[in-house]
Structures are given as C-alpha cells and as structure tokens.
Structure 1
Amino acid sequence: MKMKRVYKILAVTAFFALTTSCSEEFSVRPPEDQISLDNYYSTNEQVESATNGMYARTWFQFNNKFFYAVAEVGSGNMYSGSSDVSAMRNFSLNGSDPELNNGWSSLWANVAQANLIINFLPDRVGPAVSEDVLNNTVGQAYFMRATAYFYLVRLWGPVPIIENNLDHIDNPQINTNRVEDIYQLIESDYQKAIDLLEDKTRTSNYTENARVSKGSARAMLAKVYLYEEKYTEARAMAEEVINSNEFKLLGGDQIPDKTFADLFKFPNNNNEESIFSLQWVVDGNYGSANNCNTQFGISTAAVTTSNASYGGVFGPSQDVLDLYPSGDLRRKATIMLPGDEYPEIKVLVGADNEEQVGFTVPPAEEIGGQGAGAAIKKYCIGIVNGNETGPIDAWAMMENNTYIMRYADLLLIHAEAVMGGSGSTSDPAALASFNAVRTRAGLSAVTSITFDELFTERRRELCFEGDYWFDLGRLPRSQAIAIISAQNRGNMFTEEYFTPDESDFLLPYPDNDVSKNPLLLEDPVPYNFGEE
C-alpha cells in the first residue's frame, strides 16, 4: 500500500518544489524522487546532507518578504509602501495575500521535511552509517519542526499538529489543535533535539559552527518557556546555555576584537554568537540564497547598495529613528542615517554605475527606501565585493546568514526569566546578563532594571531581526495596542497612525487552504499524544 511508496523518498536536492507556493503542503507528503533511500543513505556524509535544505530552501519564502512584512512592518520597526508587503502597516492583511500564503507554505514545508526525516530516515540507512551521525541528523529535524511550529503558533494560534504527513493522505481535512497542545509538541521536539544533537563549542573556526547543537535547542527551549511564562524553567534552561560557555558575544569581554556591527558582515557567518542561523548558499537555484541586501538596500539614481535593478523594498519606520540613545553603537549598525560612513561597503555611484568602495549615506531626500529618510543597515552588505560579501546569484541574492536566534537574545531572555513576571529587578544574575548586552553596545551598566527597560532593550538589540512583533504579542493586548497606536507608521513626508484590533495579533489562514480544509475555521480540538 502507500507505505511502500515511502521507501522511495525524495533525495535532499528535491525538497518538494520548495520555491513554489504549495497550499496543501501541511496535509500531503512531499513528492517522491527516483532515488531510493536504500541506495542514497549508505554513508555518514549522505545522512549528514539530509538536512542541508532545511537550513535554507525550506525557509526561503518565509524569509524573502513575509517575515519582514509581518514581524517588522507589523511591529512598527519597518516601513514600506510597496503593496505586496505593506498590509500589516495599517492592519489590512487578509487571507488572499500572496505573501501570507508564502509564509504559511514555507513553514509547513519545514514541518513536512522534518517529518520525513524523523519518521523514515532511521529505517533507511545502511550499516556503515554511524549511530551518532544518524541521531544528530534526526535531532536537527526535531529542532526544525519545533522552530517551524513555534512560528506557526505565534503567528496563527491554533494550527493542525502533524507528526506524519502520510497519516493525512486519504483525508487532508484536518482540525486545528489547541495552542497549549502545540506548545507541548514544541517543548517535546526541542527536548528530543537536546537528547539527540551533538554538543558543540563555538570557536573562531566559523565553518564548523553552522549546524545546530544541544545548546541551540536549549536556547530555543528557554525562549519557548519564556513565551509560556514558565519563568523558572526558562531561567534554568538559559543558565544551562550560559554556563556551558558554548556561545559568546561578539564585542563582549570574551571576543573584544569584534563588535556588534561585525555580526552582520559576511565573513562572520556562523560566529560565536550565532545560536541558529539560516545558511544561505549561492548554488544556481532560485530560493537558495538571501535577498535581504536588495530588500533593505538603497537604490537611487545617485547611489545604490543593491546588486539588483531595484532596492529598498523596506525602510526603517519613523518610530525607530530615535530608538537608540546617544553613544549606542547598535544604531549605526542597524539604521543608516544621512552622513553615516561605511568604509567597508562597496556601492555603485551615478548614472555610469561607477564602483566605489566606501559609502557615505546621502541626504534624506536622496536615500529612497520608501521615503523613510533613512535605510536599513542590518543584512545590507552592498555590491558584491569578493570575500567581503561572498558570491552572488542571478537574482542578486547572497550568502550572508539570517539569524533566527543569537546569544544576546538568550541573555535578555535570562534576565527576563529571573525577573519572573515582576515589574523590576536588581538580581545580580539578571543584571549580569542584561549589562553584558548593554555594555557591548557602548552603554553604561545599570544597577536595576524595569520590565519596560528590558522590553525596550530587546527592541534595540533585535531590531529588524523579526522579534519585536512577537514581543508585543506577549504583552496584555491593551498595552500592545497602546504602543502600536502611538507609532508614526508613515514616512518622512506624512505622519500616519493606525490602531490594531485584538484580532490583528493573529493572522488569517490563507483563503486557498480554508477552501480545501474548512476545518481550519472550526474550534481547535485537543491533540492525542498517546500514540507516540
């Protein structure tokens, strides 16, 4: 029966047409490939390669526009007037939005690919494959599934729990499950990842740091616990990561020769601070590399940082232009303001597109970037320039990594977990973590912190990295609505203010999926974990 067909499962490079939008990915299995797993997974190297695509291609349509259009434009960190990515600016996003469908499909692609590895890879390896290699590979799949579900539940709330896509081939109409059940799955998956993944020590040999580790899973689980307000568990898990000394702050006491700005330079891919990063690669295929340099860059008649014929789909919001206090080293590494100098960035200048190394940001009215009067620096690395930027593909996409989580986030999670839901703390453990992030930014240490100060510090540290929308979602709705309503969500020419409804903090399900699976609109049901 159908199980026989499972044994001819896709090779790593197939990845079920991940560059297209497939509205049924969460309910149907990936297509088969002519390569049999019996033959393909006969060596350690082949098994290790099974998760390669899950560090890039499965995430592409999520990261390309959707992530920033929702998490950054929605939170008020970014501004865009481009119709395909601006709906969350005024909370008009609906189920027919193409980028909504792209983000949804990409996350379910991650779930489907992880399920394939978890359920079938252990039975399809040859005798020469090491048990440690197999365990580490399956551990990565559990990690990826947990991470995909962590985004799904925070973006949509109730969604279907699918642990084996083959279970739903004959009946793809699936109920959603309760939020608390989804979090139970996420916790379980990260714990399995902790059990199966390798221990690592992140070193200056960055090529060895690319894959996730036990420490990566512990760090992500600490974040999950924080979202669940399980402060004791979040603190304990965060302290396991801190005490392991696996990760370090670039520009902190342990790596003083680097800076916060170095986090976003291509030569520092997979640095000691990276807990989990998407590993983009220029391989000739659309959807394998990173488009952020184009999406965030400057492209005008006078100067361009983009390798494409356009740039600056997103710009900084007016609300973040004064986010950073004087002396905060993060500002210039996050937001490009008129007159800022970036000697390491290569640009094209003038109508003749003359190449120039060393870039001074032009006056506000000449920046472009949606009329923001400024531009986004994070993930903008400029015109391709050898080892400084790495290679480029036919779509002007590059290989600079995208952070999903880094050590500074973990330290701020630890400080908040120690605070434990109270309004302030002077606990030395919380202060040690908080001040490590703050002093790396060039600011003075403090002797106590309030929740509001910690919340603002998270926004400054992680601005444009996709966290602030989810942080706002952790606040009481009335407080989050008040924060957003006070933001100038217009551009440098026109102030605009919008007030979200409570319902705007969860996204609509894509219309195409609702038409094929009307149960998405029904009340969520409990999930039966008893058959594990």
Structure 2
Amino acid sequence: MKIYRKYILSLGLISCLIGQGCKKEFFNRPPESALTLDNFYQNADQVRSSTNGLYNAPWFNWNNQASWAITELYGGNARTYSSDVVNFGKFAVTGDNIVLSNGWNSLFTVVAQSNALINNLKNNVPASVPVAIVNNALGEAHLMRGLAYFYLVRVWGNLPIIENSLNYVDNYQINTNPVSDVYKFIVNDLKFAESNCTPMVRNGSSQAQGHVSSGSATALLAKVYLYMGDYTNARICAEKVINSGEFKLYGVDVAGKSYNDLFKTANNNNEESVIAIQWLGGSSYGHGNSLQASFAYNSTITGTGDGYAAIGPSVDLQQTYEPGDQRIYGTIMLAGAKYPELTQANGGFTVPADVNAQDTRAAIKKYVVGTPADNGGLGAQFSAGNNTYLMRYADVLLIEAEAVLAGTTSTSDPAALIPFNKVRLRAGLNALPAITQANILHERRVEFAIEGDYWFDLYRMDGWNGIIANQHPKAIALISNQERGIYSADKPPLVYSQKFIPTNANFVFPYPAAELAQNPKLNQAPVPYVFK
C-alpha cells in the first residue's frame, strides 16, 4: 500500500470511545462508514469524545515492542535472546526489521488521526457547541501530533512534516524536512495545545484525568526545550508546571503511596500522570496493554497464558542502583522479593530463587500487574488495563534541575536541588548537596527505567549540536562501557561480559525498508519546511 495512504482515517473512526472497543482494523485502513463530517459532531459530548481514540489503538504497535526495543535494549537497560528484537541490543537493526516498521506505522497513525481532527473538526461543529470545548479537542490533537513527532524525530531524524494526511494519498513520494524544522514544528504544536487545552488540577485517580491538559502541554514543551538546549525556556515551562500545583509526586505530595504504586492498574490517571496511553483491560487485541505479556516472568503471574519474559534487566542496569533505592522493587524482580498485589488469590507472588529472565538472574516488574482477578476482573492475553506513561511529573522535576544546571559543571542552587532531591527522597535515598549532569543522568535512568526513555537521554548527551550534526562522542564512550552480557549460574554468579561500541550512525535508525521502497525521497537530502 502506498506510503501514508494506510494512515488516512475519518473522524468517525477516530472518535470511537475507548470503552466501546473499536476494532483494530479500523485504525489501519480507509473507512467504509456512512458517517460524514457534517453529521457526526452535533453536541458537546461528541466533540469531547472526538479525541478518545488518540489515547488508545494508534499507539499499540509503538507500545507493544518498538518502544522498549528501541529505548531499553538499544539503551542498555535490558537484554534478550528473542530473534525479532535481539539486534536492538547489538546496534544491528536494519530497515527490514518488522518491529521498527511497526513503530513507524504506529506513530504516523497518531499523526494522521490528529491531523484529521485538526483539519476537519472546527468547520463541522455547530455553533451550539461552546468554542472552548472545540478548542480543547483541537489542543489535544495538536499535543498528540507533537508528541508522536517527538518520538519519530528522536528515532529517525529527518522526517516528512505532514499537516494534512489527505494531501499525500496520491502524492506519496515526499521529501523529509531537517531535524531542526521538526523540532520547531513540535514546539508550535505544543504551544497551541498549551493555549487551547483546558487547565486541570489533578486529585486522586479518575478517567477524566486520562485526557491531557494545558499543563500537560507545558510539561512536554519543557522536555522538548531541554533537548534543544534551550535551558531558559525549559526552566520557564518546568517552573510554570511546578507552580501550578496540577501534578503531585506519589509518596511525597500524595501520602500513603509509593513508587511501585504508580504502576498498579487501580492508580491509572493518578496525580503524577502527565500523559498516558489509556488501555482497556480484556478488550480485543490492539486496545489493551500488551507490555505485561512481554515482560512478566511467567504465565502464573498473568493468569492469561502469556508472560514470556522477552527481556530481562541488564547486568548494567542492576548494578546502577544505589543501595537502598526503593525503585528497584517497582522495576526489577529479584529473587525472594514478594509482591502481594500479584496472584492475590494465592497470597501474592514471591520471586523464585532461580529467577533468570534472559540470563539476567532477575526479571522485569514494571508494567507487570497480575491476573484479571488482581485487576478488578479485567484482563486477557496481550490486554491488561494499566496505562502506559508517556510522561510523569517526576520528569518535570528533573527537567527543572537540569535546566537550572544549564550545562555547567555542577550546581548547589536550591532551585535545582529541591526538585532533584524530592525525587531521590521518594526513592528512600539521601539528598545530595550539589549535583552534576552525571547525577541527573543517573537519576533519570533509575527513575524511568523500562519506561521507554533512557536511549533518548543518551541520544541527547552531546547536546543540541550533537543531535543536529549526529555526533555523539560522550554517549558512545558511556555505552561502550555498558555491561550487556549475562550472569552465570554460579553462586555467586559471575558476569560473562559482552560490550558493544556504537557509531554515530547508530543514533539514527534506518527508515523502514517498505517505506523507503515506496518513497525513495526519504533518503534524499532534507528540504526546509515552509511554515504557515
């Protein structure tokens, strides 16, 4: 099928409510529905629901494998023998890798569905619907499009910027635009979202909080500015979010909660959640969260026949945690640890002494939530109901610290130390009197391990100029010393070492072969984008 044609979707399909279980194929082919733009969005509730689809199925193939293969295997937080993703851990991924292709398709589907709303919603809503409701929906669509492009540009570099997918149904050979233009486009989208999404103050956990807000846009904008080396604007945005009081840190601002509680289904859309994919446990394939299926150590934990331990936590990640860091319990299963929230009918799950996912003498805990009975009766194979975080408030706090540091050697400025140490104290660690860039990178690694972020932190280690020129000496030096080997069966286990040395070329992934075959212009020099 021609490039981008498979992403053209009607607003009627986009608006399928998460709870109504829209069929997976509806998100991957042109519509045959009789719904038209002129008769669908006739009241405020329909306009509010128009964005629901942007939080679910379009993200599935990114979430399913691509996100963690790229960020955790490539980044060195995980290892595997699985043939479909093993090359991600070896810096040997080629354009014909189906997981890579699925990630591209998924993210461009988010772009296309967002475009459909942006280009058509406003002109097809009656005047009886309040303007603020229409603008909020448009803001959500701009945020999701900006977020999808933020993932795309960090993986593939130069990209075609597409503002109206219908323009490319027949003209599908299109040049890429340079990385700098893609980032500018993302910033513009997020500024629109910031101005048009409804403000929110989050309390407890609720379905309404599953939608993004003006504060969500500001938080993501802070992160984008950080990548661009614009510390001034990153700090302004981070402080705007912090001072708003919209989000709270679990276990610090929200008493009685812990880091591990963040990843329980019952706590979906909690006060720390900035942006999250909304999954429906037990729904058809493509609408529930499949991470547990890949991560869980065995099927006893899931109760649904999956639980393949497709990755294990790397030796390098395990050795990164400081003594007493409570986050390891919520991220990595170590022998003897007990999780009362898993297999509750059997009194909880105790990690066996011989745990050994992918020869790591451990297993993944994060995003593993247990049986359907552990989750209110909801769940099925490849279909858990826990959200996938795309951004948490802890990220905003660490962005603030890094923006204050602003590329200098170290800082003891309270503006950096207070948010930085707030994250550490939640983890049960001591506060630091001064911090460096290395401290921040370490903190980000253990805070967001197995959440699809670490590779991107490595990608930006050499700054904005490193991103633009694709030169990554600092990151290459760090990665070359990562331990990507395995533990032996000895007691205590020995490390059978394996290390890889990436090149600058490894910091931009190849375009999917099928896309390149249909659009050879992907490999041509990028052309400047003409901004409206």
Greater shift, 478-487 or 62-71, is seen at 478-487
Distance in 1 between residues matched to 2:382 and 2:520, nearest whole Å:
39
The C-alpha deviation readout for 1:181-240, integer Å capped at 9, x for no partner, is 101100000000011100000011423311000000000000000000000000001000
Distance in 2 between residues matched to 1:470 and 1:306, nearest whole Å:
34
Task: Note the C-alpha offset of 1:293.
Answer: 1.4
Distance in 1 between residues matched to 2:292 and 2:38, nearest whole Å:
41
1:420 to 406, 417, 420: 406
Distance 1:389 1:293, change over 3 A: farther
The C-alpha deviation readout for 1:480-516, integer Å capped at 9, x for no partner, is 1121111221222343211111101111000111110
Identity within the alignment, %? 45
Alignment of 1:163 with 2:149, yes or no, is no
Alignment of 1:11 with 2:8, yes or no, is no
Any conservation in 2 of the 1:82–1:313 contact (CA below 8 Å)? yes
Structure 2 residue aligned with 1:517: 519
2:422 partner letter = A
Structure 2 residue aligned with 1:372: 360
What are the residue-to-residue correspondences of 1:226-241 with 2, within 5 Å?
226-241=226-241
The C-alpha deviation readout for 1:77-115, integer Å capped at 9, x for no partner, is 011110112211111100000001100000000000000
What are the residue-to-residue correspondences of 1:329-348 with 2, within 5 Å?
329-346=326-343
1:499 to 496, 501, 523: 501
Any conservation in 2 of the 1:91–1:504 contact (CA below 8 Å)? yes
Normalising to structure 2: TM-score of the pair? 0.91
Distance in 2 between residues matched to 1:466 and 1:20, nearest whole Å:
26
SS in 1 for 2:416: helix
Distance 1:479 1:427, change over 3 A: same
Any conservation in 1 of the 2:402–2:416 contact (CA below 8 Å)? yes
Structure 2 residue aligned with 1:391: 378
Any conservation in 2 of the 1:281–1:288 contact (CA below 8 Å)? yes
SS in 2 for 1:233: helix
Distance in 1 between residues matched to 2:197 and 2:529, nearest whole Å:
27
Distance 1:44 1:404, change over 3 A: same
Task: Note the C-alpha offset of 1:37.
Answer: 2.1
Structure 2 residue aligned with 1:362: 352
Alignment of 1:484 with 2:490, yes or no, is no
Task: Note the C-alpha offset of 1:10.
Answer: 3.6
Distance 1:328 1:299, change over 3 A: same
Task: Note the C-alpha offset of 1:304.
Answer: 4.1
Alignment of 1:409 with 2:404, yes or no, is no
Identify unmatched segments of 5+ residues in structure 1: 1-5, 348-354
Any conservation in 1 of the 2:294–2:311 contact (CA below 8 Å)? yes
Distance 1:7 1:323, change over 3 A: closer
Distance 1:87 1:131, change over 3 A: same
Normalising to structure 1: TM-score of the pair? 0.91
Task: Note the C-alpha offset of 1:329.
Answer: 1.0
1:334 partner letter = T
1:435 to 400, 421, 430: 421
What are the residue-to-residue correspondences of 1:210-221 with 2, within 5 Å?
210-221=210-221
SS in 1 for 2:309: coil
Distance 1:319 1:232, change over 3 A: same
SS in 2 for 1:444: coil
Structure 2 residue aligned with 1:319: 316
RMSD over aligned Cα, in angstroms? 2.1
SS in 2 for 1:403: strand
Alignment of 1:298 with 2:297, yes or no, is yes
Alignment of 1:448 with 2:450, yes or no, is no
Task: Note the C-alpha offset of 1:11.
Answer: 3.0
Distance in 1 between residues matched to 2:257 and 2:9, nearest whole Å:
48
Distance in 1 between residues matched to 2:351 and 2:508, nearest whole Å:
37
Structure 1 residue aligned with 2:275: 276
Task: Note the C-alpha offset of 1:445.
Answer: 1.2
Distance 1:442 1:210, change over 3 A: same
Task: Note the C-alpha offset of 1:170.
Answer: 3.0
Task: Note the C-alpha offset of 1:18.
Answer: 8.6
SS in 1 for 2:422: helix
Structure 2 residue aligned with 1:351: none
SS in 2 for 1:322: helix
